[in-house]
Chain A
Amino acid sequence: MSTETQAPVRSAEELRSGAIRPQRRLPRLAPLGLYAAGIALGALLSALGGFSVVLTVIYGAILGTLAVYIGSRLVEGTRKATDRLVTALVTTAFAIAMVPLVSLVYTVLDKGLARFDSQFFTASMFRVVGEGGGAYHAILGTVIITALAAAISVPIGLLTAIYLVEYGSGKLKKAITFFVDVMTGIPSIVAGLFAFALFTLLFGNGIRLGVMGAVALSVLMIPVVVRSCEEVLKLVPNELREASYALGVPKWRTVVKVVLPTAIAGLGTGVTLAVARVVGETAPLLVTVGLITGTNLNPFDGRMATLPVFAYYQLTQPGVDTQAFVDRAWTAALVLIILVMALNIVARLISRFFAPKTGR
C-alpha cells in the first residue's frame, strides 16, 4: 500500500480537471450510521401504530437498507451503491437467520436446566408417575444402540470407501457411488420401517428390539461413513502408495499400513460426525425400539428406552403432573444437544491432534 499512495497524490489535480472522475467514498462508518438511522425511522413508524419489536425490525431492515442504498448512490454512484445494497441485504439475511438458531439454543438451555440434576442421570422412569425420575435408562439405551449401529456401519462403510478409492473401477464403482449418494437421502422414518419390515418377516409380528434400531440407524449411517471416508482416502497422496509398492509391499498391506494410518485423523473425524448424526435420530427408533420405563440393557431382548424417543413421549404424552414430564423432556433435549455438540468437538479435536504432519 505504501508504494501506491504516491501515484494518486500526484494525479489528484489531473483528476479534478475532469479526465477521470474522482472516486468519492462514504466515510467508513457512514453506512452503519445510515442503517441505524433507517432502523430508528422504522421504530418511529411502528410506534405510530402501537410499538412492536417485530414491526420495528421489519421496517428498520427495509428502511435501513434503503437509506444505505440511496446514500451510497448519491455519493458513490450506481455500482458502489449496488455493492452496498447487497452487503446490507446479506448481512440482514444473516442476522435474520441467526435469530431462530439463537432462540432455539436459548430456549433449550432455559427450560432444560430445570431438571439438569444428578437424579436425571441416575434414576430411570421405573414406577415414576409424577416428579422425580430421570433418563438413566434412556441415556444408556442410546449409547448401546448407537454403539451397535457404529459397530455395524463402520466396517462396512470403511471397506466400501477403500473399495471405491483403491480398487473400484467401471460400472460397479459408479453404481456404488451413485446409490450411496441416493442412500444419503433416505428419510429416517423409512429406514425405521425397513428394519421393522425385515425383523417382522424374520421373527413375526409386533417385534421390538434394540438391535432393530441399530439396523435402522446403520442404514442412515453407512452412506455418511462411506462418503466421509472416501473423501479422506482420496486425500492420501499417491506418492505414498507408489513408494510402498516400489518397496515390494502387497497392495492390501499398503492400504492397511500406509493409507489408513495416514488418513486416520480424517477417518476418525468422519466416523465421529456420522455417529453425531444418528445419535439424535428419533423416528426410526420410535417405530423399531419403542420405549419402556425400566432399564433394559440387552438390545436383543425386547423394547429399550432411548433419549430422543424418551424426550418425545415425555413432551407429547405427559402424565398427570404435566410440568414434571415437560421438564424432563426439555432436559432430555438439552442432554441430547450436549451429546451431539460433544461428539462434534471430539471430531474437531481428532482432526486437529491426529492429523499427519505434512507440509502442505
Chain B
Amino acid sequence: MTATKAPTEPPKQRPVRRPGDRIFAGSAKGSGIFILVVLAGVAAFLISEALPALTASSEEIPGGEGLASYIAPLVVGTLIAAVLALLVATPLAVAIALYVSYYAPRRIAAGLGYVIDLLAAIPSVVYGFWGLAVLAPALVPFHVWAADTLGFIPLFAGPASNTGRTMFTVGLVLAVMILPIISAISREVFSQAPALHREAALALGATRWEMIKMAVLPYGKSGVIAGAMLGLGRALGETMAVAIVLSGGAAATINLISNSSPSTIASNIALRFPEATGLDVNTLIASGLVLFLITLAVNMLARWIVNRRADFSGAN
C-alpha cells in the first residue's frame, strides 16, 4: 500500500480512459441514479394520483367527512397493530437469537438458524391463512377471559369478539411474521461479537449470562434496534395477513379485543382497491401515500440510529 503513495504522479486523473471503461462506469452510475429516480418517482406518482382526493370536497370522500377523518382511524389501526407486534416480537426474537448463537447445542444450532431463515421467507398470505384458521379460533377463550378480568384496562374493554378476528390476534400474527426477521439480524450481530471479548469475559470467571451481558449485548444493541425497526417497517406495511384476519369496524379505538377495531391502511387498500372506481381510487392512493411517509420516517430513523452507532456495528 505504501508503494502507491510514491510522489511521482498524483492519482487525480487516470492517464488512459478507454471507451469500455467509460461505458461501464457510466452504466453502473446510471443504474445507481436510476434507483434514486425510482424512489422519487414512487413519491411523485403517488402524489399525482392522490392529488384529486386531496383537493376534493369533503362530501365526496368515502364516509363524507373529508380525507383526514377517513385516514385517521386507519393510521391509528396501523400503529396499534405494528407496535403490538413489535412489543411481542422483539424480546422473543432476541431470546431466539441468543439461544441459537449461545445456548443451543452446537450440532443443531446451524440447522435452527437455517430453519428460522426459511420462516422469514414464508409469504405473508400464508401467515394470514394461518391466523384466520388457527390462531383466531384459538384465542377466543383468551378474549373472553381478558374482557372479564382485565376489562378495566381500556385496551381490553371488550365486548369480546366471538370470532377472535381482532386487533389483538392481528398483532400476534404480525409478531410471528416479524419474529424471524428481527431474530435473523440479531443473530447475525450476536455471532459477530468479538471472540476475544467473549473469551476474556469467560476467562475472568464470568458465567455465560455475564459474558453475554458484558460482551455480546453491548456489541449487538444497534443490530437489535435495526432489526426491530426493520420489523416495525414490515409490520406497518403488512397487508395480506391483516386483510385476511381482521374483521374490524371503522372507529378509531384502542380496544384490542372487540370487533370495532379500525383496519390498517394497507389492508384497507387491499380490500377496497380491486373494486374501487373514480375518486375512491384517489382516496386509497392518498392513504397509501400516508403509509409511505410513515414507513419512510421509521426507516430513516432506523438508519440514523444504526449510523450513529456505526462504531459498534458488525461492519468493522
State yes or no: do A and B come from one complex.
yes
Spell out A's residues near B (CB within 8 Å): 79-80, 82-83, 85-87, 89-91, 93-94, 96-97, 100-101, 103-104, 107-108, 111, 155-157, 159-160, 162-164, 166-168, 172-173, 175-176, 178-191, 193-194, 196-198, 200-201, 206, 219, 222-223, 226, 250-253, 255-256, 273, 276-277, 279-283, 286-287, 290, 308, 311-312, 315-316, 329-330, 333, 336-337, 340-341, 343-344, 348
Additional A-B contacts beyond A94-B100, A159-B32 (17; CB < 8 A)? A87-B208, A93-B92, A107-B134, A156-B34, A160-B32, A164-B32, A176-B33, A187-B237, A188-B239, A193-B284, A194-B46, A219-B42, A282-B125, A282-B239, A283-B266, A287-B273, A312-B240
Encode contact with A along B277-315: 1 for CB under 8 Å, 0 otherwise.
100000011001001100110111011000000000000
Residues of chain B contacted by A308 (CB below 8 angstroms) = 123, 125, 240
Q: A163-B31, A253-B20, A255-B24 are in contact. Are A184 and B129 (CB under 8 A)?
A: no
Q: A167-B28, A187-B291, A190-B295 are in contact. Are A330 and B92 (CB under 8 A)?
A: no
Partner of B237, one of A111, A186, A348: A186
Bound complex: CA A252 to CA B48 (Å): 40
User: Could you tell me which residues of chain B, from 193 to 230, have a CB within 8 Å of some CB in chain A?
Assistant: 207-210, 212, 230
* CB of B57 within 8 Å of the partner chain: no
Nearest Cβ in chain B — how far from A360, in angstroms? 15
> Judging by beta carbons under 8 Å apart, are A91 and B121 in contact?
no
Nearest Cβ in chain B — how far from A313, in angstroms? 9
In the complex, number of A-B residue pairs with CB atoms less than 8 Å apart: 273
Bound complex: CA A312 to CA B240 (Å): 8
Encode contact with A along B111-151: 1 for CB under 8 Å, 0 otherwise.
00010011101111111111011110000000000000000
> Judging by beta carbons under 8 Å apart, are B125 and A333 in contact?
yes
Question: Among the interface residues B93, B96, B270, B298, which one has the most CB atoms of the partner chain A within 10 A?
Answer: B270
Residues of chain A contacted by B103 (CB below 8 angstroms) = 87, 90-91, 94
Bound complex: CA A337 to CA B123 (Å): 7
Question: Which 6 A-B residue pairings sit nearest by Cβ, starting from the closest?
Answer: A187-B237, A280-B123, A93-B95, A252-B24, A163-B28, A159-B31
> Judging by beta carbons under 8 Å apart, are B237 and A190 in contact?
yes
* CB of B80 within 8 Å of the partner chain: no
> Judging by beta carbons under 8 Å apart, are A311 and B28 in contact?
no
Bound complex: CA A193 to CA B91 (Å): 34
> Judging by beta carbons under 8 Å apart, are B270 and A286 in contact?
yes
Bound complex: CA A151 to CA B207 (Å): 52
Nearest Cβ in chain B — how far from A224, in angstroms? 12
Nearest Cβ in chain B — how far from A300, in angstroms? 20
> Judging by beta carbons under 8 Å apart, are A250 and B207 in contact?
no
Bound complex: CA A287 to CA B270 (Å): 7
Q: A97-B92, A97-B179, A181-B303 are in contact. Are A201 and B129 (CB under 8 A)?
A: no
* CB of B29 within 8 Å of the partner chain: yes
Question: Among the interface residues B20, B126, B179, B300, which one has the most CB atoms of the partner chain A within 10 A?
Answer: B126
* CB of B68 within 8 Å of the partner chain: no
> Judging by beta carbons under 8 Å apart, are B123 and A282 in contact?
yes
Residues of chain A contacted by B100 (CB below 8 angstroms) = 94
> Judging by beta carbons under 8 Å apart, are B207 and A336 in contact?
no
> Judging by beta carbons under 8 Å apart, are A94 and B99 in contact?
yes
> Judging by beta carbons under 8 Å apart, are B288 and A182 in contact?
no
Bound complex: CA A78 to CA B168 (Å): 38
7 pairs, A vs B, C-beta closer than 8 Å: A104-B130, A108-B129, A108-B130, A163-B31, A182-B300, A188-B239, A251-B24
Question: Among the interface residues A85, A172, A316, A341, which one has the most CB atoms of the partner chain B within 10 A?
Answer: A316
Residues of chain A contacted by B31 (CB below 8 angstroms) = 155-157, 159-160, 163
A interface majority secondary structure: helix
Closest B residue to A175 by CB, please name it.
B36
Nearest Cβ in chain A — how far from B182, in angstroms? 11
Residues of chain A contacted by B180 (CB below 8 angstroms) = 101
Bound complex: CA A221 to CA B299 (Å): 17
Bound complex: CA A298 to CA B100 (Å): 46
> Judging by beta carbons under 8 Å apart, are A104 and B127 in contact?
yes
Residues of chain A contacted by B91 (CB below 8 angstroms) = 93
> Judging by beta carbons under 8 Å apart, are B95 and A89 in contact?
yes
Residues of chain A contacted by B42 (CB below 8 angstroms) = 186, 190-191, 194, 219
> Judging by beta carbons under 8 Å apart, are A91 and B99 in contact?
yes
> Judging by beta carbons under 8 Å apart, are B95 and A94 in contact?
yes
* CB of B69 within 8 Å of the partner chain: no
Q: A337-B126, A340-B121 are in contact. Are A197 and B46 (CB under 8 A)?
A: yes
Residues of chain B contacted by A219 (CB below 8 angstroms) = 38, 42
> Judging by beta carbons under 8 Å apart, are A82 and B270 in contact?
no
Nearest Cβ in chain A — how far from B30, in angstroms? 8
Residues of chain B contacted by A188 (CB below 8 angstroms) = 237, 239
> Judging by beta carbons under 8 Å apart, are B237 and A252 in contact?
no
Nearest Cβ in chain A — how far from B199, in angstroms? 16
Encode contact with A along B4-26: 1 for CB under 8 Å, 0 otherwise.
00000000000000101101110
Partner of A280, one of B30, B104, B124, B210: B124
Bound complex: CA A344 to CA B113 (Å): 13
Residues of chain A contacted by B209 (CB below 8 angstroms) = 82-83, 85-87
Nearest Cβ in chain A — how far from B98, in angstroms? 5
> Judging by beta carbons under 8 Å apart, are A163 and B29 in contact?
yes
Closest A residue to B34 by CB, please name it.
A156
Bound complex: CA A89 to CA B104 (Å): 13
Bound complex: CA A90 to CA B112 (Å): 15
